[in-house]
Structure 1
Amino acid sequence: MGRSRAFIYSSRFGDFSYGTQHPFKLLRYRLTYELIEELGLLDNPATEVVECPVATEEEVARFHRADYLDVLREFNQDETPRANFFYGLGDVENPVFPGFYDWALLGTGGTLEAARRVADGRNRIAFNMAGGWHHAHVARASGFSFLNDAVVAICHLLDRGLRVAYVDLDAHHGDGVQEAFYRDSRVLTVSMHETGDDFFPHTGYVHEMGEGDGKGFSLNVPFYRHADDRLFRRAFDAVVAPVIEKFAPDILVTQLGVDTLRTDPLARLEMTTASLEYCARWFRDSGLRWVALGGGGYNKVNVARGWALIWGAILGIELPDFLPPRFVQTISSLGFSDQRLRDLPHHPLDDDYRRAEEALEERLEFLRRNFFPLHGIVR
């Protein structure tokens, strides 16, 4: 298989901006690349660094509607600020900035490249950190996402006759991906996220299990606020791992948002980098062909730390607990005081943990009683 891991990147990731006041900062990609490089993780003989290609309109039209793509193209070419709220474009959440469609096609191209490489056997694992836009719908932008790269790539894999398990670890429910395959038994969608009771996108409840042929192929594990590493691992081991093993996909696609970390400004979970590493090791050791994607994360240094640790786990390299000195200098100039690569263990307040634990146990019991029988899993 040659170099078994592909790291997909482009300096063009930094050519775009959602705006100075927008929480999604594309600087996070350059910081992640620099940290991974400082840690010596791109010189590994198992690693192939791949320039990120641009998706074609024909490729994204496999999922997205033609009228929506027409508007994206029109707005992308117009220097005057535009808005069309029917398509979710031009508001504070999904701004129409210069080259926004070019940016979406670039990130989607990276995910398609990762999927092709893994499906073709050129690499067993491919990581596109500029992917993971899981909120985009067939004809509507949502949650900072203009194109749903994961859905586009999964459609490509389905066209090749492959069965896919999609696992979403972002703090926000992967609603766009679930919606795309809600009636399809060829795709298992799994999302572990903060409960949608009062949190975007207000979906992803345990009773959302699929419909028609897809009944039993959508799995949601919503956490109550303040859930920590202990609860995350309990849910993953008790429900997510056995369901993936039972489904036995040809390809694994994961969305690896790091806004579950306790210091993320937009979410209220209290997990640490230990959860990210735990899942990355499990995915690696599963033996599955694996397409790894980025996702949310609104503290730029958290993103760099989290994805560097995930890439280290993908390579099977044990990394130090502290950041390289030169990277510390880089982020210090940006106003960050972080010194650690790996988070210290963290426990929430007792009352917060108890409420999160009780909520999780109720949901896990629901899944054992209602979801497991659909797959013949006995627990």
Structure 2
Amino acid sequence: MDLFIRKELLLASGTQLEDVVPHCLKLLAWLRACQEEMLSQHRRLRLSQSLVESMVKATLYLFECHDRFGEALAERCDSHGFLGDKRQECIRELCAGIVNTRRGEEHAPLLHLMHKALAEIQPAWSVIRDLDWTQMRHSEALTSEDMISVDLQQMRRLVKRIGRLASLQDMETALQRSLQLVGFQVWLHLFREPRESGIHLDCHLLRHMICDTLTEGTSSACASFLHNIFTFVALPANEMRFWACLEHGRLASSLIAYLIGYWSRQLPYLDLEEMQLTPEAPVLQTAQLPVNEATYVTHLMLAPCSPCRQQFRQQLRPLLPTAAGGQLLQLLNKVAYVYS
């Protein structure tokens, strides 16, 4: 971002509104992400001087663009508060976020020094002169926020970032990528976020998007998601957490739909002795879950402790009388023997 600010943010006499809108949207999204990081990770996050300077420069550029293009820019960026008459409040929040990070008090002299030059360009920056840095700096004592698990914090940041994207297509793309890269221990919290949460609606939307993706079963992200589940439950202590997550009926149903589709495709070409597909198996365009991983997840979902056991068994019944169903039973019996 530092390079982008130095190279791309030019405001010449001939600059038009259409020229600055993409830059402003990018800067606003970045600044919001920075604020969220500073609020959620303030005990652990340590900012570099260059990052602090970049945040100040980005804010300065946004204010300067608003001075030139007025409410037309605020309307296009949907940021009337930030670009409107609350500049001093925004500057206070920025400074408070910076100094409350790990060793953030070291940036107070820099901010105080910078404000003199900034105030000559935009008077709102003079508010820094009167800030009480000591009072602004929070106590170092741990609060309840600091006791929130890292996985829960990561889930909430991820939900907020995806929820800020401009279109549903962008959200779907980001979610597909996240399903591949983010561990199941993070997604676990998505399906347990309470209704009282401020991001409940975004969580609700992402939960349904994930379940729709699994039910369709055509995306390579499905195999990655199931692989992450396998990696998670490979630790015996996590089996109970996985079963608890299956209390979410929509998630359980979508996992069942994916696994039934998986076994319907794979079993006719499965070598039981080698636990792998035969050369006759068709080559599919999307990545496929390894047989051993699919078998173990299926085994757990059919275990006595699984809340979706009965539902899964009922949906498997049409498959069981066939030769493929017999192969699946043999596989599950092997797994049950090994892990019992």
Report the TM-score range of the alignment, normalised by the length of the smaller protein.
Answer: under 0.3
Q: Whose radius of gyration is greater, 1 or 2?
A: 2
Structure with the largest fraction of helix: 2
Tell me: higher relative CO, structure 1 or 2? Use CA pairs within 8 A at least 6 residues apart.
1
Structure with the largest fraction of strand: 1
